[in-house]
Structure 1
Amino acid sequence: MSQIVIGTAGHIDHGKTALVKALTGTDTDRLAEEKSRGMTIDLGFAYLDKNITIIDVPGHERFIRNMVAGVSTIHIALLVIAVDDGIMPQTREHLHILRLLGVKHGIIALTKTDLAEDTDWIDLIELEIRDLISDTFLKEAPIIRTSVETGEGIEVLKSEITTQSKVIQTNLDREFFHLAVDRVFSKTGFGSVVTGTVLSGKTKTGQELEIIPGNKKVKIRGMQTHNTETSVVKMGDRAAINLAGTELENLYRGTVIAEPNWVNSTEKLIARVTMIADTKWKLKNRQRVHLHIGTAEVIAKVMMMEKVLEAGQNGNVLFLLEKPAAVIMDSQFIIRSFSPMETIGGCIVLDPNPISNKSALKKWMKMISKSQGERLKQFVEYLWKSPKSAGNWARDFHISEKQIKSLIKDESIFNEKGFLFTPKMRDESIDLLRSILQNFHEENPYAKSLSQVRAKEISGFSVNWLSFLLVKISDELIYSEGGYALKSHAIVLSDFDKKLAVTLEKAIRDANFGLLTADQIPLENPKKTIEILHILKDRGKIMTLAHGLWIHVEVLDKLKNELSRYFSSKPEMKVADFKNITNTSRKTAIPLLEYCDKRGLTERDGDVRLKGESLA
């Protein structure tokens, strides 16, 4: 059986703490102030058995933030209503909070039945309760009459809790360790200890964790669950964890301890807000509110709303937090008015780390979906130029890679070569790449290819996504000189440039062994000169030697003939001999000799050249 957490709820002085003591034998009022005032101020914890924890929450309106911290992790709600008071303001508010946080199971305990003069009064209270819960998750919940004074109903209630706990379906495990801290204290000889309910994953003694906000690394020194030492805690467990490597100032209710690199703090988030049906409050732009996220409470400002939200309405809202908080995708939280504080709605996180660009953010907030699968598709398509892997998206959505792969099946998202992408983003990416190449050819008609580096700069694609796309359209491309060109592109000289090519070819031919660089050719357009020189080279008319020197192929043939004639009568050749043959200076003779050596026309032997193997 999984670990199950029961959370009490109900108005102050309706007997929640006394009922928990009757069920478990534990008095959860652990603070001296609670004892003296006769009411629960902070969270209390008791154990029904080794698998069931009961969290006793405060009922007073002033301590509602503590109540929210307690019920944010429960599986079954125990709504406590005293027969002498009946339904009270915090009864209704607690019920709203339970609904807004997505609690799906519950039991109603009618307490103090010994104070009722007759059963007709209790029957009337039950009818009022049934009317209150008629459209809630508690509409089929049992109502059990109890008295801690007489013992009435205690065993029946205990049995009902046990029965529901055996069949309850716990939340889907996100498969990374994550615990929202609800208590922090220091124990002599041990150091810092935190408690909370393990919301997902598991951990063990000695494992490294992270405190968020702050991302401070700590190690687990020891753990307890249900007051028993343990080396492993898992999802659903109530855990007390002794941490090494941190001081208490790094820990407080509202911090999260998690497996490293899974959870980040944020100061803004987008959430879907649903207003309570009977609230008198309205939610509008620039309004300050209290957010109760997990065990944290943070003040935030409402921004970028399209319209004012009133009772029963819902919409996407950007919250700007006044201090960092650990926020997880799809987590549910409560929103309360700033002053006086009243619960006004519930929220679900749609984006815990939204983009910064204001105009893009406004558009993004308007379109982002509450549906997890649809939202994943929106995120994937939004980042169409830099797709991520399933593993990276798992961390962004705070779920397992297996769960990500399950979502993409229903959303026409492909998982290929380490990328998640949709047919739309693939096709748009390919169209953009074709367009970039086509524009490059139009603007640079004589350039052979566009480098991959430049294609990345123009497109904004990530390196890996660009490489993926180039492979996808490889049958349309030519790879040349370290870049890419469309096969459909052909270099065709204009009439004017044909004449220019003839002029350039003649100039290089006439230079004979003198060799020219591009800037030695007196033409008006240096860029065009270089482009046409390379076209002539590609057409086999000229060649380039070291230092940007150009030579005509007919001159090279002439050089081969001169070398053959020389070596037919002499076994070796000095640089001076070569200069005489070619009538050149040392400046051009050396590049020519290096070319001859490289092509096997000559072979260097110290300060002289011998006949090369390639020389006929």
Structure 2
Amino acid sequence: MIVGTAGHIDHGKTTLVRALTGVDTDRLPEEKARGISIELGYAYLDVPAHAERIGFIDVPGHEKLVHTMLAGASGIDFALLLVAADDGVMPQTREHLAVLSLLGLTRGAVVITKADRAEPGRVEALHTEVRALLAGTGLDAAPILTVSAQTGQGVCELRELLFDAARHTPPRPSQGLAARLAVDRAFSLDGVGTVVTGTLHAGEIAVGDELLIQGHRARVKSLHAQNRAVERARAGQRCAVALAGLAREDAPRGHWLTAPAAALSTDRFDARLTLWPGEARPLRSGTRVHVHLGAQSVMASVAVLDGEAVEPGASARVQLVCHAPVGAWRGDRLVLRDAGASRTLAGGVVLDPFAPARYRRTPERLAELAACELLEVASRREQLLALSALGLDLARFAQAEGLAEALQGWALGEAARDALTARLLAALADFHARSPDELGPDAARLRRLVAPRIAEPLWREVLAALRQAGRIAVRGAFVHLPEHGVQLSAVEERIAQKIAPRLAAAGAEGAWARDLAKDCAEPEPLMRATLARLAQQGELHQVVKDLYCDTATMSRLAAIARQIAADQDKVTAAAFRNATGLGRKRAIQHLEHFDRVGLLRRVGDEHRLRADSGLFAEAAHA
């Protein structure tokens, strides 16, 4: 169990921890000289007849060091809110209580310290004042104890309360979750190297593990959990991790040490926030705030997703647009302070670390966020899959959840798959009706017609499944309905053999239907019908009406266009004409044909290569 002390400056936090554990958590010379905590301090206490060890995080109480207090508070299980009997409730008492409540803490106790400095009547009145202060917070049912670290009054009772709480603290879930440690301190030791400390929020860390921090990979050389040398640490423990292959400056406070599977960084995430009831004004979109998440603090802007503003005491979904990347995983707690860092505003929980910049308030998106608030991972995945018309990226889902298993690929719900299939088949039927002399669109062009926002890997998987089921046919890069590419008749086969050498000889200039009919001594209507059937099968291509080229020629011209685009980032008629040796008119006709079929796209007087098009690529490499 991790216990965090909180309260106003000079209300006895460090003294109380020393009375409970025998450890002075003020370790810096400046702290000794000034008599106040500046950095986070740590101490430990063994629980009798129990394998558990209690870890204490002693946080600063000064108002200017609330950001340091937050770095420690995000990982605690049990809070001790201290109120000095001689001072009573002070500004940082109220703010620290707000922080603890907004972080979702419901386990803790209030300790009235320095009881030896106050009259009994004063202590009794303070009990009443503190109980009123706790009303409506997560700690409203917390016990209130009276203690004097100087005389020992109440110290044993408090220690027993902590022992009992430790025995009843459920272990943090670690099964199936990747290791994530929020770094709140980093230093170098002679003979050891870089050491980082922090609370392990999820998963487990073992000696020998490969971990990531800020994109740097490091190996765990040795490990301490709850101030003991161990081979493995689990979620909920204070850890000191010695890392091989990492420089001290590459591990600053605030960053996350994670298993590679869970590593992520985001500058935009969606969350559910609760505005502190004591706030005087609603929280509106555009408000600049400090976001405290884990041990990190960044500036961000608020965009309210539910309504126009969050009223004091109310809860709403928001998007936080951060000014620097943060590590954020679904379910992580966060606290907001105002832009001037003078007061705590709100607290909440991360819903989606991969929040979209557009369509963030649509009913569809809000339904996805509702799914993110379901309690179980399996339920969230099932509901998100049902809602995702464009499919669910399993790798990104696993990252957002902080799962140990690195999932791969995409998933598409049954209803979404049926709807996508219906649109795809309808689009092919429409294409064949409008362009009966073409085999069909290439896969990339069909995607732009049917589902331009769907992920390419998922699109390929859908096409493969439909092809296997016999619902579509694919020839090279072209997709068509099976009935559209019917077999040639014996007469058409005979004519195809006649025209093949003539088309090959014609090359990029192409051959006209009437000329082919004359040269082959075939009726012109029959020749046109055969050419159209061959175009349907992808054996040749109609550049303009009645002008045909064979596939080998078109593949060669496509390769030239691709090379020009690679060299010049565009394809002009002049460049294409010079590279092919064609006249200007024929060169323009070929470029316009490439525009129509989806290899290129027209932008003013230029043509740009469509990077996703696979047209003619297979034939070119055959």
Q: TM-score range by the shorter chain?
A: 0.7 to 0.9
Q: Does 1:17 align with 2:17?
A: no
| Paired residue secondary structure (2:330) | coil
Verify the 8 A CA contact 2:439 2:535 in the aligned structure 1. Answer: no
Verify the 8 A CA contact 1:105 1:138 in the aligned structure 2. Answer: yes
Distance in 2 (alpha carbons) for counterparts of 1:138 and 1:514: 86
Verify the 8 A CA contact 1:288 1:301 in the aligned structure 2. Answer: yes
Which of 186-195 and 366-375 deviates more? 366-375
Sort the Cα spacing of 1:176 and 1:536 in 2 relative to 1 into closer, same or farther, 3 A: closer
Distance in 1 (alpha carbons) for counterparts of 2:516 and 2:144: 96
Q: Does 1:388 align with 2:389?
A: no
| Paired residue secondary structure (2:97) | helix
Sort the Cα spacing of 1:238 and 1:531 in 2 relative to 1 into closer, same or farther, 3 A: farther
Superposition RMSD in Å = 3.9
Verify the 8 A CA contact 1:263 1:328 in the aligned structure 2. Answer: no
Distance in 1 (alpha carbons) for counterparts of 2:239 and 2:13: 23
Verify the 8 A CA contact 1:9 1:80 in the aligned structure 2. Answer: yes
Sort the Cα spacing of 1:536 and 1:241 in 2 relative to 1 into closer, same or farther, 3 A: closer
5 Å matches for 1:238-253? 238-253=238-253
Distance in 2 (alpha carbons) for counterparts of 1:230 and 1:152: 36
Distance in 2 (alpha carbons) for counterparts of 1:535 and 1:476: 24
Distance in 2 (alpha carbons) for counterparts of 1:476 and 1:18: 77
Q: Does 1:138 align with 2:144?
A: no
Q: Which residue of 2 aligns with 1:581?
A: none
Q: Which residue of 1 aligns with 2:337?
A: 336
Sort the Cα spacing of 1:514 and 1:276 in 2 relative to 1 into closer, same or farther, 3 A: closer
Verify the 8 A CA contact 1:83 1:116 in the aligned structure 2. Answer: yes
Sort the Cα spacing of 1:436 and 1:185 in 2 relative to 1 into closer, same or farther, 3 A: same
Shift of 1:252: 1.6
Q: Does 1:439 align with 2:430?
A: yes
What is the letter of the counterpart of residue 38 of structure 1?
A: G
5 Å matches for 1:464-503? 464-468=458-462, 471=465, 477=471, 479=473, 481=475, 485-486=480-481
Shift of 1:345: 0.6
What is the letter of the counterpart of residue 133 of structure 2?
A: L
Q: Does 1:287 align with 2:287?
A: yes
Shift of 1:55: 0.7
Shift of 1:429: 1.2
Verify the 8 A CA contact 2:391 2:413 in the aligned structure 1. Answer: no
Shift of 1:7: 0.6
Sort the Cα spacing of 1:387 and 1:291 in 2 relative to 1 into closer, same or farther, 3 A: closer
Distance in 1 (alpha carbons) for counterparts of 2:2 and 2:155: 18
Q: Which residue of 2 aligns with 1:586?
A: none
Distance in 2 (alpha carbons) for counterparts of 1:453 and 1:323: 36
Which of 21-30 and 144-153 deviates more? 144-153
Sort the Cα spacing of 1:308 and 1:266 in 2 relative to 1 into closer, same or farther, 3 A: same
5 Å matches for 1:190-209? 190-209=192-211
Sort the Cα spacing of 1:258 and 1:337 in 2 relative to 1 into closer, same or farther, 3 A: same
What is the letter of the counterpart of residue 7 of structure 1?
A: G
Shift of 1:30: 1.2
Verify the 8 A CA contact 1:196 1:239 in the aligned structure 2. Answer: yes
Distance in 2 (alpha carbons) for counterparts of 1:475 and 1:231: 52
Verify the 8 A CA contact 1:272 1:315 in the aligned structure 2. Answer: yes
Shift of 1:69: 0.8
Verify the 8 A CA contact 1:78 1:108 in the aligned structure 2. Answer: yes
Asked which structure has the greater CA Rg, the reply is 1
Distance in 2 (alpha carbons) for counterparts of 1:435 and 1:70: 58
**What TM-score do the two structures reach when normalised by structure 1?**
0.73
Which of 95-104 and 321-330 deviates more? 321-330
What is the letter of the counterpart of residue 8 of structure 2?
A: H
| Paired residue secondary structure (1:127) | helix
Distance in 1 (alpha carbons) for counterparts of 2:146 and 2:472: 82
Q: Which residue of 1 aligns with 2:606?
A: none
Q: Does 1:82 align with 2:84?
A: yes
Q: Which residue of 2 aligns with 1:54?
A: 56
Identity of paired residues, percent? 32
Shift of 1:47: 0.2
Q: Does 1:42 align with 2:39?
A: yes
Q: Which residue of 1 aligns with 2:259?
A: 259
Sort the Cα spacing of 1:485 and 1:112 in 2 relative to 1 into closer, same or farther, 3 A: same
5 Å matches for 1:514-533? 517=503, 519=511, 521-522=513-514, 532-533=529-530
Shift of 1:529: 9.1
Verify the 8 A CA contact 2:180 2:201 in the aligned structure 1. Answer: yes
Shift of 1:303: 4.1
| Paired residue secondary structure (2:205) | strand
5 Å matches for 1:176-195? 176-195=178-197
Q: Does 1:227 align with 2:266?
A: no
Cα-to-partner distance string for 1:437-484 (whole Å, 9 max, x where unaligned): 222221223445555455445444434444346535866725364565
Verify the 8 A CA contact 1:446 1:491 in the aligned structure 2. Answer: no
Distance in 2 (alpha carbons) for counterparts of 1:184 and 1:240: 9
Distance in 2 (alpha carbons) for counterparts of 1:16 and 1:282: 34
Residue in structure 2 matching 1:427, options 418, 421, 424: 418
Shift of 1:21: 0.5
Distance in 1 (alpha carbons) for counterparts of 2:261 and 2:494: 65
Distance in 1 (alpha carbons) for counterparts of 2:218 and 2:129: 51
Shift of 1:138: 2.2
Cα-to-partner distance string for 1:401-422 (whole Å, 9 max, x where unaligned): 69x9xxxxxxxxxxxx964333
Sort the Cα spacing of 1:30 and 1:516 in 2 relative to 1 into closer, same or farther, 3 A: closer
Verify the 8 A CA contact 1:263 1:327 in the aligned structure 2. Answer: no
Q: Which residue of 2 aligns with 1:108?
A: 110
Verify the 8 A CA contact 2:71 2:295 in the aligned structure 1. Answer: yes
What is the letter of the counterpart of residue 385 of structure 1?
A: L
5 Å matches for 1:528-543? 532-534=529-531
Q: Does 1:8 align with 2:8?
A: no
Verify the 8 A CA contact 2:105 2:139 in the aligned structure 1. Answer: no
Which of 365-374 and 268-277 deviates more? 365-374
Q: Does 1:160 align with 2:161?
A: yes
Cα-to-partner distance string for 1:415-440 (whole Å, 9 max, x where unaligned): xx964333332222122212222222
Distance in 2 (alpha carbons) for counterparts of 1:506 and 1:22: 98
Distance in 1 (alpha carbons) for counterparts of 2:343 and 2:528: 74
Sort the Cα spacing of 1:281 and 1:422 in 2 relative to 1 into closer, same or farther, 3 A: same
| Paired residue secondary structure (1:330) | coil
What is the letter of the counterpart of residue 397 of structure 1?
A: E
What is the letter of the counterpart of residue 400 of structure 2?
A: D
Unaligned runs of 5+ in 2: 47-51, 504-509, 518-524, 541-548, 552-622
Shift of 1:20: 0.6
Verify the 8 A CA contact 2:304 2:316 in the aligned structure 1. Answer: no
| Paired residue secondary structure (2:262) | coil
5 Å matches for 1:370-409? 371-373=372-374, 376=381, 380=385, 384-389=389-394, 392-399=396-403
Which of 152-161 and 424-433 deviates more? 424-433
Verify the 8 A CA contact 2:262 2:398 in the aligned structure 1. Answer: no
Which of 239-248 and 377-386 deviates more? 377-386
Distance in 2 (alpha carbons) for counterparts of 1:117 and 1:142: 21
Cα-to-partner distance string for 1:481-532 (whole Å, 9 max, x where unaligned): 456544676989xxxxxxxx9xx989959x989975481532799xx99873
Cα-to-partner distance string for 1:527-551 (whole Å, 9 max, x where unaligned): x9987325667999x99xxx969xx
